Structures are given as C-alpha cells and as structure tokens.
Structure 1
C-alpha cells in the first residue's frame, strides 16, 4: 500500500495577518523527491443557514474585495481563539442579521480549499429565529444588506450566478435535500 504522507523538512513563515498566515514548506514526497507547498493557516469559520418562520432563507449581501464584486451568502464568520463553533454561529448570526436563536443544528464541517489552506468551516441550521431588539454592532469594516429568499428563489439565484460561493451553494442544496423550506 502506497503512503501519501509528505514529510515537512523546513517551514518558512512569510506573512502573519489578522485573519490568515502564509508559510512555505519544503516537503519530502513519498517517492523521495523534494517539493514546496504554499500554505495558508486559518483559524476556521462558521456559517449559519437561517430560515424564518415563513420559510425564507436569510442571506447577507456584501462586497468581497478578493473578487471585486458583491456576493449573496449565508451569514458566516471567523472562529475566535478558544471560541466554540456554536458560540461563533450565534455571534455571527446576531451581528450580521439582527436575529438570534436558541436552536442550532450542526449540519457538517468541511475544508474550504484543502489544496493550499487548512480552514475548516462548520455549518449550522436554525429554523427558530428571533429578532433582537438591540442587535450588536457588527464589524466596523463590514457593510451588509439582508435579503430573504424562498428556496426556489435561491435556486434561481444559483442558476443565474447571483449566489456563487461554496458554503451558500451547499446550504441551498442541503435545504433542497431536507425539503424543510418550500
């Protein structure tokens, strides 16, 4: 049986930022050859699939600088050091939408870009939203607009590339599979 393990022989830190770190590793491949791996270290993230009592999905619309365009996404955010994913989920839901919940269901977790990053994203579902009287202030550098869509509208947005990111596409497919939103 072949081993796929790559032994790291050297790590060179390149950049340490607020959200990510970049490093270049020298690795020994299973065949004994050497190669370089550019790696992004990320603390992880959480996303929430929020569904209203009326069966609409709550999305956030925001500008994404790396893409130079506005995306429609499910609420999401970075895990803070030592913070449990469930806590991050509620915090991000409150900050980005003005809703809270006491009823989160863990759906899954997945690596977002395993070819170059170690970011692990946790996905939660809630169908028990409650509007906050005093929503917490969001991040000062985040400008968000809410949009509520039915599952059919969201699927149409996917077809038209108006919804175009992985976590949100996953959420829509998951809801379609569940048939919990009409």
Structure 2
C-alpha cells in the first residue's frame, strides 16, 4: 500500500553528537494535519549472536550510563560512515569478545525504537568462533565483562526479567531456529 509522504515544512536540528543527532521537524501529513515530531537520527547498528563450537552464547555484561547499571547484551556497535553493517560487526565482535567468527548468517534487520528514532539494527549469527591471540581491545568508554551462557540459560534470563536490552532479545528470537534446530 503506497502512501503519499508527509510534507516537511520546517527542519530544526537541536543536537549533533558523535553517535546521533536530535531534530524536531514540522510536517503536514497526507490528511492535512500539521504537527511537530521529534526524532533521534542514528546511523544504525550491527549486532552478533555469537555461539561457540561448544554451544555457548557469548554475551557482554556491560555498564550503560543511561540505566546507571549493567545490562546483559550481545556484542554490537554503531555503523561508522561509509561502513557496511557486516564490516561493523566483524570489527566489534573481535574488539568486544576477543573471538573471530569463521561462519556468518544474516538474521535480519529491525527498527529499534521507531516511535522516536530511525535506528536500524542489522542482526547476524556468528558461528565457528576462534579465540584471537590478543585479548579484547575495548574502547576507553566501555566497561564490559564477557559472559558465556547456553541458549537455554539466556532464554531463562529473559523470562525472569534480568536487565537485557531489546536488540539482544529480538536478535535471540531471530536466531532461535539456528540455536534450537529441533523446535
């Protein structure tokens, strides 16, 4: 179903940061209603669901300043300018976990929070992991601990309400056919 796009009447950029921008735009919708809509503009992110040959998921117990606490999540990173999401996640998995994947499967992509952001997450399954010779090289602003869990343990962590981010839960659901092939 093709719809007429809204007409941009006024664009206001309020903040331009290194990872995202924040803007408020005035639009006239196809039904002639006018209004202001806020949006966080983000270049997108890439995420890996890494699984070791022994069947363990590699997760990160990462401190996030916005929540003032640690969250369990899969390795992920922001897509840099002129970078493909697959290149992003290959770099990030090595930096954050100290492993390299020999086999990759694209799981899909999804909007993270379309009510206020245009960020898209590109999700991949990373298999046949081999440890790198050097330890992970985290960014200076990252506080990360590596955690190994079975898919069943991670699913239980989701169900009991452990602090887990939405992109990791959504990507886990996309990966389930590969992680639980008999279900």
Give the TM bin, normalised by the shorter chain.
over 0.9
- 1:32-43 equivalence runs, <5 A: 32-43=32-43
Q: Partner of 2:102: helix, strand, or coil?
A: coil
In 2: Cα distance, 1:25 partner to 1:124 partner: 33
| TM-superposed deviation, 1:4 | 5.8
Residue of structure 2 in register with 1:172 after alignment = 172
Residue of structure 2 in register with 1:131 after alignment = 131
Residue of structure 2 in register with 1:93 after alignment = 93
Residue of structure 2 in register with 1:117 after alignment = 117
What is the root-mean-square deviation in Å for CA atoms of aligned residues? 1.9
TM-score (norm 2): 0.92
| TM-superposed deviation, 1:105 | 1.1
Asked if the contact 2:102/2:127 (under 8 Å) is kept, the reply is no
TM-score (norm 1): 0.93
- 1:62-101 equivalence runs, <5 A: 62-101=62-101
| TM-superposed deviation, 1:160 | 1.6
Which structure dedicates a bigger proportion of its chain to strand?
2
Unaligned runs of 5+ in 1: none
Residue of structure 2 in register with 1:148 after alignment = 148
Asked if the contact 2:107/2:171 (under 8 Å) is kept, the reply is no
| TM-superposed deviation, 1:150 | 0.5
Q: Which moved more, 1:171-180 or 1:9-18?
A: 171-180
In 1: Cα distance, 2:43 partner to 2:62 partner: 22
In 2 relative to 1, CA 61–8 (structure 1 residues): closer, same or farther, beyond 3 Å?
same
